[in-house]
Amino acid sequence: MIVVMAPNAKSEHTDSVINRLKKEGFEVHLSQGVSRTIIGIIGDKTRLTGLALEAMSSVEKVVPILRPFKLAGRDFKPEDSTVEVTPDVKFGGKKIHVIAGPCAVEGENQLMEIAKEVKASGATLLRGGAFKPRTSPYSFQGMEEEGLKILAAARQETGLPIVTEVMDVRNIPLVARYADLLQVGARNMQNFFLLKELGRIQKPILLKRGASATIEEWILAAEYIMSEGNHNVILCERGIRTFETYTRNTLDLSAVPAAKNLSHLPVVVDPSHGTGKWSLVAPMARAAIAAGADGLMIETHCRPEEALSDGQQSLTPENFSETMKQMQDLASVMGREL
């Protein structure tokens, strides 16, 4: 971290910054420029975040130099991590995994039907929401535990491990009892109490990027989980909020190689929420593979026009099957399998 002093800062102000840093155990490095004095700080950066250096007299700004994460960072662990969901399903290796299924579990027949379809097309995990609090309190809110039971039944039938969202700290034990991979939704990416509790279980976590979170903040949210002991975190890019209104979100595919530069964790892409339009899902799914994603999460529904949630962004089984074929061909060019 570097402290830039204001032009014409009095020397006692500079001294007082230096003294404070030394008292806290940091080594400092003074650099006198033509119009600014700069103080370099050497030591454990994570201890610095509590110091409000910017509130000290004559401090113009404080410039971070190092990334603020450790466990999730490439500096800490240069080689790629793999995260195991089941012995057969590991994210981060040669195999690209596709998570498919409806936005919400709506009933046993609905889920079973789509589960068989996506399995037949090559999906390796089944998704479905059991808790669905949505922007409006008047929308369908999910089947709750009944939905989890239906997911488990579909796993029983198809062998596909199941992925579902947990939104409430109180529900972690319940959801963890059923799910193989627990999803943290975009709105909860900085729900730090939830992150900490998930750090204390040993199930793998699929961490969606918040709609207004930088890549660095997203990895820092992974750090929250990891710092409690659970290192099984998979990152999931699902679009950020921008001024564009044609798409529901702006899917930031550069976040795939960027997150992989900064972190060793696997990265998955959700083109369904990322675009909000089913006709854009296939091209963005293909692009995600080409950008180096370790997995895809794709909403599918046998009758999207009857879906209780997000039908406009769901693929039919036919479209999903077609998209899978395109992705398989691309994966093979990329030296991977799908």
CB of 155 to a second copy, least distance (A): 25
Separation between Cα atoms, residue 79 and residue 293, nearest integer Å = 16
The CA R_g of the chain, rounded to the nearest whole Å, is 23
In whole angstroms, the minimum distance from the beta carbon of 70 to a second copy comes to 8
Cβ 54 to a second copy shortest distance, Å? 3
In terms of Cβ atoms closer than 10 Å to its own Cβ (0-12, 13-18, 19+), residue 9 is middle
- Nearest CB to a second copy, comparing residues 102 and 161: 102
Give me the amino acid identity at 63.
V
Q: Kindly give, in sequence order, each residue whose CB lies less than 8 Å from that of residue 255, ignoring residues fewer than 6 positions away.
A: 209, 215, 218, 237, 267
Between CA 277 and CA 314 the distance in angstroms is 8
Q: Which is nearer to a second copy, 81 or 190 (CB)?
A: 190
State the minimum distance, in angstroms, from the CB of residue 89 to a second copy: 24
CB-nearer residue toward a second copy: 62 or 85: 62
Q: Is 192:224 a contact under the CB 8 Å cutoff?
A: yes
**Nearest distance, CB of residue 4 and a second copy, angstroms:** 5
Cβ distance to a second copy smaller for residue 85 or 226: 226
Pick between residue 159 and residue 283 the one whose CB is nearest to a second copy: 283
Give the helix, strand, coil percentages of the chain, each rounded to 5. Answer: 40, 20, 40
Cβ atoms of residues 272 and 99 within 8 Å: no
